A and B are shown apart, each in its own frame.
Chain A
Amino acid sequence: MRRFAIISLVLITALALGLVSTVRAQSDITICFGFQDLETEFWVAGHKAITETLRGQGIEVLEYNANEDPNRQLEQVRECIAQGVDGIIIIPQDGDSAVTIINEAQASDVPIAVFNRPPNDRSRGITVVADNVSATEQAVEFMAQQALVKWAVTGNTVQPLILVGALQDTNAIGRREGFFNVITRYSEKYPGLFAEPIEVATEWDAATALANLEAAITANPNVDFIFTSSDFLFPTIRSVLEPRGKWVPRGDANHVIMGGLDGDATACQLIDQGFVDATGVQDLFLEAELTMDRLLEAIANGETQPNEVLLDPGFALSAANIQFDRSDMWGCVLLDEGFLDQ
């Protein structure tokens, strides 16, 4: 009975505190922001950029975490609509469910914007997305040039490997496409440079990536070229390569040519240290700004079904240009602000 009373007390206190905390000034505009679990630096930084900027403008933000469940996100968006929000920003779980959620919001005359993870049908809603193919191509191009140098010196065929994201996510598809575009082009131009690439499924999950990468490297110990579809997997790659003596900086004979995409603080630090060669950068701050500005404009103009695709061209940050373009990469900005020390 005592345990019962203690837990009841804790829950009632939590509810009461919540009630008290909700007694706050109500603003004129309310934006509903639905996201998935913030498992990577990119999403953490994106979430922070959006919520802080909106609140800084005196806008009330209703936050909903769907825990990677698209059905839950649909319920949350419906709840937002029922509460009479003025606009919705979502980070969907995948491109298919995003289409249904956009339709739901637009059918109820609520403007909706999709941040970074685009719907499969981009004809409806405001979609802000990085050009994944282009950003990946730029990063892999730099890696391929490094491979060419290595091949010229050693004469050994380079074995590429790609960590593929969850393929229901159009970002993952674009990054895979960008990777293969460059590998194919170089293979055609320089026969014998690259062996058949190995694909490792990650489902955007570090544990899955670890298990699959471990198996792939055990079966193919000659892998010396790794591209990860997201920078958040660099620690995972390190835990697989380090025991094998392959986690070494540029200049070492055992160095694995490595690249990724996102441009997070860890990638910036690893390029600084020489472990990573290049990363495709999504301009997170630009994307957040584009999302908010266009949505607020739609609300101000009374547009209930704004449809527009806003593209972040992205760029590659590599060992060659990090000293010049460092300040343009959001991850380096966070790194220099001590993000990884928090």
Chain B
Amino acid sequence: MDQGNLTHPWSTTQRLTIEGCTVSTVNDRLSQLQSLTRRKKSHSASSSTATQMIRKLLLSDYFVLYLTLILFMSAAVFFPTLGTPGNIANQLQNMWPLLAVAIGQTFVLILGGIDLSLGATMGFTSVVGAIVMAQNLDPAFFDKSPLWGTLMRPEGGLLAGSALAVPVGVLVMLIVGTSIGFLNGYAITRFKMAPFMVTLVTSTFFAGFALWLTQSRNISGLPEAFIELGKGDIVSVYLGPKLTPDIARRDILQFITYPFVIAVGLAILAQFLLSKTVFGRQMFSIGTNRVTSDISGLPSQSVIIRVYMFSGFCAAVASILYSARLAIGQPSLGGGNLLLDIIGAAVIGGTSLFGGKGSVRGTFFGVAFFVLLLNILNAMRLDPFVIDAVKGGFILLAALVDVTRTRLMNREQRA
């Protein structure tokens, strides 16, 4: 075959190859061209495979989990202490209260809202619970409190010494947290106010209210049964030979604790609500498009109020865990950077800031990633003032990943 006479020798050769014919090339030029194109195609195929893999990874529900595992394994090479059972057990304990409160924020974000009052709700419920449960109160600290002489007395809080103090105190904390959530939801739906503004105002109000009630003092003297909720363990392990009759407390690792049971129980309940109930589907629908949901006849107002109530409930659960482990009712609980951590964990976990997307599983991974990241940054001996900046950078990165994921999903849906 005289290749030189072909206008498109290349395509002919290809066709012949496909048809099973043996093609003998008569000049080197054609051979080079063939080789070049094969490389091009192979490069293009591998590049498209890589893009697809990245796309798949970005859209995967387990993206943050993979990232967490990769980060953990690579960091553990440099910092062996990260992989020690003691450190792992410790980091797990750090996760539970943050997970509890981040679940509430996840619900609100799925709805397309935001709850800035979570920190203040935690502080206020912490104080209210302590006022019910405290076993003694020092007049030198609290005699200027507006509750002194009524709900607060030298002999303690409202139910000081009673066997009901802890169950009632915990119940009151949950009710108060849920009520603050109701207040948020009601103001947002009834007065059509922006969630940002409503929850910011609620936050300021309840943070100030808690400080006023306690005159800015922490309330100590909480019952042991309550403190157990924050640090009591159900299953602890000791790894290693028993060389002495007594095992040092630092060598006993707490794995299944009350905070674990409470936070994981809350997560299971939340996941059930999200994925198995009509309420969950309504949330996603409202978060995706509120107008369409309204036109479709969904009870948007009721759903929004219930979501904010659940968020307040989660904040109260976290408040129980945080207050119990510090053994104080703390009016400033939830202040500082905690709100950033809560939102950061939810967003890193794949919950969209634009609403309509998120999962409890993702938030769980987000909290794990966040706690691990802090652990690594500390292990790196970074300047403590730099750590917050890096943490902020990762939240920004997560927000950008969120934007990229949303764009990819929209593109795929259109295709």
Knowing A82-B84, A83-B81, the reply to whether A70 touches B400 (Cβ < 8 A) is no
List residues of A (77-136) whose CB comes within 8 Å of B's CBs: 78-79, 81-84, 94, 96-97, 99-100, 107-110, 120
Q: Which of these, A18, A70, A74, contacts B377 with CB under 8 Å?
A: A18
- Please tell me if the beta carbons of A76 and B378 are within 8 angstroms of each other in the complex: yes
Contacts of B249 in A (CB 8 A): 107-109
Knowing A18-B382, A21-B381, A22-B380, the reply to whether A168 touches B216 (Cβ < 8 A) is yes
- The interface-forming segment of A61-69, A145-153, A209-217, A282-290 is A61-69
Indicate whether A203 reaches chain B with its CB closer than 8 angstroms.
Answer: yes
Contacts of B333 in A (CB 8 A): 71
In the complex, what's the smallest C-beta–C-beta distance from B260 to chain A, in angstroms?
15
Binding site for B on A (CB under 8 A): 1, 3-4, 7-8, 10-11, 14-15, 18-19, 21-22, 62-65, 67-72, 74-76, 78-79, 81-84, 94, 96-97, 99-100, 107-110, 120, 166-168, 201, 203
- Please tell me if the beta carbons of A82 and B87 are within 8 angstroms of each other in the complex: yes
Binding site for A on B (CB under 8 A): 78-79, 81, 84, 86-87, 89-91, 93-94, 97, 141, 211, 215-218, 220, 248-250, 322, 325-328, 330, 332-333, 335-338, 375-388, 390, 393-394, 396-397, 400-401, 404
- Please tell me if the beta carbons of B328 and A96 are within 8 angstroms of each other in the complex: yes
- Please tell me if the beta carbons of B78 and A22 are within 8 angstroms of each other in the complex: yes
Closest to B250 in A: A108
Contacts of A8 in B (CB 8 A): 397
- Complex Cα spacing A128 to B382, Å: 27
- Please tell me if the beta carbons of B377 and A65 are within 8 angstroms of each other in the complex: no
- Please tell me if the beta carbons of B397 and A4 are within 8 angstroms of each other in the complex: yes
> Nearest 4 CB-CB pairs, A to B?
A65-B384, A108-B250, A18-B380, A96-B218
Q: Which of these, B79, B330, B393, contacts A14 with CB under 8 Å?
A: B393
A-B contact count (CB 8 A): 128
Q: Which of these, B215, B330, B378, B393, contacts A64 with CB under 8 Å?
A: B378
Knowing A21-B380, A69-B335, the reply to whether A11 touches B218 (Cβ < 8 A) is no
In the complex, what's the smallest C-beta–C-beta distance from A243 to chain B, in angstroms?
27
- Please tell me if the beta carbons of A71 and B382 are within 8 angstroms of each other in the complex: no
- Please tell me if the beta carbons of A71 and B388 are within 8 angstroms of each other in the complex: no
- Please tell me if the beta carbons of A100 and B397 are within 8 angstroms of each other in the complex: no
Contacts of A65 in B (CB 8 A): 384-385, 387-388
